Amino acid sequence: MDRISNMARKLYRLLFPVDPVGVRVERGLVVGKNFSMLDGVIIDYAHTWHITIGDDVTLAPRVHILAHDASTKRYLGYTRIAKVRIGNRVFIGAGSIILPGVTIGDDVVVGAGSVVTRDVPAGHVAAGNPARVLCTIDEFLSRRRREMESSPLFGEEYTVDSGVTAAMKQEMNRRMSDGVGYIV
């Protein structure tokens, strides 16, 4: 039954494609160039006009961006709302939640699973629940560059879109047996 319902959803999407970003832009979302939103991302549909996303931003799978907090509705009769601003060249990791009123500066990485409750200054890496600043982006990238020097590197031919073969997958796992690798 699940297989049939999955097939029906895929067929529906093929026949009736929806541009989730386009719909939100029509509602007031501001999005810069080179925006990438992966599967399962939720951008507050009821309050999109309070959200601004800069250039070269990637939202990994299941990121939530909220511009409202309805926890006050029952008690106060009003829902709390606030702007969310995401700068340029920002990566927000899978499963992260960005709460109302948060500003994320330029050149920021937010680690997977983070709950961002306060501003993240430009040029930093933040992670955790609640998210806290861990280091500068330069420190983070320096560590990763050093790691790359002793890690296997894989080209585009090793990606699903380029038709990675079963043998190539095995090779990747063998070469990464002692740690991590990097792929284009």
Query: Which of 47, 50, 64, 68 is the catalytic position?
Result: 68
Helix (H, G, I), strand (E, B) or coil at 109: strand
Q: Which residues partner with 43 through β-bridges?
A: 65
Q: Which residues contact 27 (CB under 8 A, 6 or more apart)?
A: 45, 48, 49
Q: Which residues contact 143 (CB under 8 A, 6 or more apart)?
A: none
Query: What are the φ and ψ backbone dihedral angles of 49, each rounded to 5 degrees?
Result: -70, -5
Q: Which residue, 79, 85, 78, 112, is CA-closest to 99?
A: 85
Q: Which residue, 98, 100, 94, is CA-closest to 71?
A: 100
Q: Let me know if 68 is a catalytic residue.
A: yes
List, by residue number, the catalytic residues: 68
